[in-house]
Structure 1
Amino acid sequence: MAIDLTGKVALVTGASGGIGRAIAVALASSGAKVILNYLNSREAAEEAAASIRDSGGEAVAIQADVSKAEEAERLVGEAESAFGRSVDLLINNAGHLVQRIPNEEMTEELYERIMDVNLKSAVFVAKAVIPGMKAAGGGSIVNMTSVAAHNGGGPGASIYAASKAAVLSYTKGLAKELAASGIRVNAISPGFIGNTAFHATFTSAAAREATIQSIPLQREGTPEDVAGVALFLVSDLSAYLTGETIEVNGGMFMR
């Protein structure tokens, strides 16, 4: 069964590269009109949007710091204006470990940065799209959590792991809240995904090789592996799925 998102408007946060870009491309390839949100990487986001347009799709890039509620609201307003209708599909992909640090060295400022970019962003972008989805009679929201939500993450990542665990729980609560409005809410929990800025920044070559050896499928994931699941979750193929978290980790963590 082919996935056809023709006529749908999709907003992907944190979409200038890696998983976010792959999701934006996958949605556009299935017919969705896509808004690629970015924070600082304007050139990369604009290039990604141009690539989608060159392939016959419709896409625009919009800058916003979604860790701030007022910026999240502005982003959704501009996204709705870009294509003249409300957002049908939201992928809350923006997130960041920010910094590996032992808890005894954690500062309030760093704690807030980590929680804001991972949890607060999802909450307030969702808040901004919900009225439009309700008016349209439904929609789909996909939040990005992490295997760290289950295992506590690597060294110095306890608050990041906690923020992602909060996203997982928030997904379930929001799914219950919005089900009667025809809005489905699910989450994706990636494991070790290569070709991303996250591991380029925070994972050494030795740690990468050791992790790959521990994965039953014997390879790191790709952004496209995650994008395929996102495409499934926003499509009618998952019409009876809400409040669920899908693990994308090659078997390194099994529930």
Structure 2
Amino acid sequence: MDLILKNRTAIVTGGGKGFGKAICTVLVQEGANVIMNYRSNRQDALSYIKKLNDNYSGHIIGFCGDMTISENRERIFETALKEYGSIDILINNAASWTTALVADMPKEEFEHVLDVNLTVPFLMSQKLIQYLIKSGKRGSIMNVVSKAAITGSERNHAHYAASKAGLVGFTKSLAKETASAGITVNAIAPGYMKTEMLNKSFKNRDDEDQQVKKIPVGRIADPIELANVVAFMVSEKASYFTGTVFNGTGGMIMF
């Protein structure tokens, strides 16, 4: 299926690794222009950008910066407009995922996780909506949430679950605000994916095996599988979908 993403421009936060990297890959494969935001491992990011540009029809550039800093948010939008002339898609993927019991958690840690996981998506979405409405353009926002937003955290990440649950509520509310302007807003709730973040969460191989037993399909997802859903959802092929939270948990939750 041709998703007709050629010449459409997407900003992807947290695009340098894991799920964000997979999303960038699929978008470039589908012909989109991509601004890949990342914060570290500059050489790895630049090497991957070159690989994508050498092999696929789309185009990608990198933007190194912390999106909690207002100047960086301004600059990434300016960069997208200067490089590609328009912005059509925003994928709020960057996240902070620290580990602590509520009883032991400093207030600053809680605030930081909410800042990265909820405040930044709000502010980035606000900027895109203002631009799209002023330009009279249609567009799409995809927020990456988590199964923890639905089920709560099982592993000392109550602050993370709270931030992602807030992002679900924001997604649905914003979708109602922007539907008449032709701007769709959706979310995807991944379960376990083969990423560095997941590998760090497993204590050992036995722990991983125990977690896999909870997944009805019997395996951990490849990030590309879920990235394909994201690419479809930000395309014109999915223009009727808005306010939807897609379940990417392999059956761990069903609703």
TM-score range normalised by the length of the shorter chain = over 0.9
Question: 2:213 is paired with a residue of what secondary structure?
Answer: helix
> Paired residue for 1:34?
34
Question: Quick one: distance in 2 between partners of 1:200 and 1:69?
Answer: 32
Question: 1:141 is paired with a residue of what secondary structure?
Answer: strand
Q: Is there any run of 5+ residues in structure 1 with no aligned partner, and where?
A: none
> Paired residue for 1:149?
149
Question: 2:63 is paired with a residue of what secondary structure?
Answer: strand
The one-letter code matched in structure 2 to 1:16 is G
Kindly report which structure 2 residues correspond to 1:97-246, keeping only aligned pairs within 5 A, or say none: 97=97, 99-134=98-133, 135-194=135-194, 196-205=195-204, 206-246=206-246
Deviates more, 1:127-136 or 1:235-244: 127-136
Question: Quick one: distance in 1 between partners of 2:221 and 2:178?
Answer: 31
CA contact (8 A) 1:38 1:62 kept: yes
Question: 1:217 is paired with a residue of what secondary structure?
Answer: coil
Question: Quick one: distance in 2 between partners of 1:237 and 1:7?
Answer: 15
> Paired residue for 1:24?
24
Q: Which runs of 4+ in 1 moved over 3 A?
A: none
The one-letter code matched in structure 2 to 1:81 is K
Question: Quick one: distance in 2 between partners of 1:136 and 1:50?
Answer: 33
Confirm or deny that 1:77 pairs with 2:78. Answer: yes
Task: Say how many residue pairs are matched.
Answer: 252
Deviates more, 1:113-122 or 1:127-136: 127-136
CA contact (8 A) 1:86 1:132 kept: no
CA contact (8 A) 1:13 1:91 kept: yes
Q: TM-score, normalised by structure 2?
A: 0.95
> Paired residue for 1:52?
52
The one-letter code matched in structure 1 to 2:130 is P
Question: Quick one: distance in 2 between partners of 1:101 and 1:235?
Answer: 38
Question: Quick one: distance in 2 between partners of 1:213 and 1:93?
Answer: 27
The one-letter code matched in structure 2 to 1:37 is N
Q: Give 1:213 deviation, angstroms.
A: 1.4
Q: TM-score, normalised by structure 1?
A: 0.95
CA contact (8 A) 1:90 1:140 kept: yes
Q: Give 1:91 deviation, angstroms.
A: 0.8
Question: Quick one: distance in 2 between partners of 1:80 and 1:202?
Answer: 38
Structure 1 pair 68–45 and aligned structure 2 pair: CA distance change class (3 A): same
Question: Quick one: distance in 1 between partners of 2:207 and 2:82?
Answer: 45
RMSD between aligned residues: 1.3
CA contact (8 A) 1:68 1:116 kept: no
Q: Give 1:136 deviation, angstroms.
A: 4.2
Q: Identity of aligned pairs, percent?
A: 35
Q: Give 1:66 deviation, angstroms.
A: 1.1
> Paired residue for 1:63?
64
The one-letter code matched in structure 2 to 1:182 is G
Question: 1:214 is paired with a residue of what secondary structure?
Answer: coil
Question: Quick one: distance in 2 between partners of 1:246 and 1:91?
Answer: 14
Question: Quick one: distance in 2 between partners of 1:174 and 1:70?
Answer: 24
Question: Quick one: distance in 1 between partners of 2:132 and 2:208?
Answer: 40
> Paired residue for 2:15?
15
Question: Quick one: distance in 2 between partners of 1:75 and 1:181?
Answer: 23
Question: Quick one: distance in 2 between partners of 1:223 and 1:101?
Answer: 26
CA contact (8 A) 1:16 1:36 kept: yes
Deviates more, 1:177-186 or 1:63-72: 63-72
Question: 1:189 is paired with a residue of what secondary structure?
Answer: strand
